[in-house]
Structure 1
Amino acid sequence: MSADLLSEAFPESLDTLATEAATYASVQLQASQWTEQFEVSLGGETIRIPARLRFRNNHADEALNGDIRLMVRCLRSRSSDGFERQRAVRDLLRDIQPWAAPFIVALIGEYLVEILDDIAGVFGESVPEPIIEFLRENPAYWFLTKQRVSSYWNVYYRRSTRKKDYVGFKLKRQIDRHLRQVAR
C-alpha cells in the first residue's frame, strides 16, 4: 500500500505531517499487500482508513516525535497483529487527537477484549470529546460499530461473559449515554 493511500487516513489540513507519517509506515509494510479502506467523515472531510495492514516488524517508532509518531501509531492500530494494535492504541489514548478518534472507535468494534479494557480504562466514566464529536458526525459508522460489538460478543464471549458484563457493551452504553446528553 502506497504512502499516498495511507495519507488519505488523515485530514488534508495535516497533509505534510500525514505524508511524512505515511511514508515512514509504508516502508515498514509487507510487500504486495492490499487492504480495503473504510470511509468516515472528520471535520466535514471524507477520510479513508485502511481496514488492516500487515507490517514486517513491530518497531515502537521511538525515533519519531509528536504528531508524526501518533499518526504512525494510528496506522499501526490497523495492524494484523493484535499485540501491535494494543500497543498503538495505548499511545493514542494518552493524548486523544481528533484525527485519532476514528482509529480508536474502529478498535471498539473489534474482538480483542484486552484492547476494549484499555479503552474503557482511559474513558472511565466520561467519553473524551474527540470521540463524541467524531461519532456525532458519523452516526451510521457508530451504528455499524455497535453491531460489530454485538457480533463479536456473540461469537467469542457469549459463553464466558454475560452481555451486561462484557466491556464492549459497557463502552457502547456509556458512549450512547454521552451522545444523548450532548444531543439535548
Structure 2
Amino acid sequence: MEDVPPRHVQQPAAERGTHRPHLDARVTAELAAVLSGARRRALRDGDRQIDTAHLLHTLLESDPEVRAVFDGPQVARLLGYLVQRAIGYGMRWQTTVEDSGAVPMLKEPDGWSPAAATALGAAYGHAAGRGDACARGLDLLAAMVADPESRAVEVLGRAGVGVRALTERIAAAGAVPSSR
C-alpha cells in the first residue's frame, strides 16, 4: 500500500497569517506549552488571534516562576478577571485584533496579534541579553508589561496590579536588566 499525503495540512497558529512564523522556535519546553495553551484558549474563546491576555492567562495558570513575581492575592484577582473574560465578560474583544481594529470572527485563530508577536520577539531578546538560547515565561511577561497598550497591561490594571512594581519584581527575578 502506498502512502498518500494528506490533502490538508493544518499549520500551527504562529505559521498562519502574516505574523512572524518563527515565533515559537526559541522557547523553553515550559514556554512552548504556554504558547500552545494560549492558542487553545483563543480557539475555545472564539477569538480571532492569540493576544497578550491569552498569554497572560496561560502563564499565570502554568508557570510558577511567573506566579512568584505577583503577590498571592494578585494572582487570584487576575485569574478571576481572566476567567470572567473567557466566559463572556470580555466579549467585546472577540471581534477585534489586539492593536489592529475590528475584524470578523473565525473558527480558528489565524496567528498572533501584533502585540503578542512583538512581545514574543522581545522575550527572545531578553533571553539573549542574559546569554540564554531560549526565552522563558518571565521573559514573555516582562515583554508584555513593557507595552502599555497591550491587553495584558489592561488586564493587570483592571485587577489592581501596578505595572511599575511588577516590572521591578521581574527585574529582581533576573528576567531583564534592572531599569535603575
Normalised by the length of structure 2, the TM-score is 0.31
Normalised by the length of structure 1, the TM-score is 0.30
* Bigger share in helix: 1
* Bigger share in strand: 1
Of structures 1 and 2, the one with the larger relative CO (CA 8 A, separation 6+) is 2
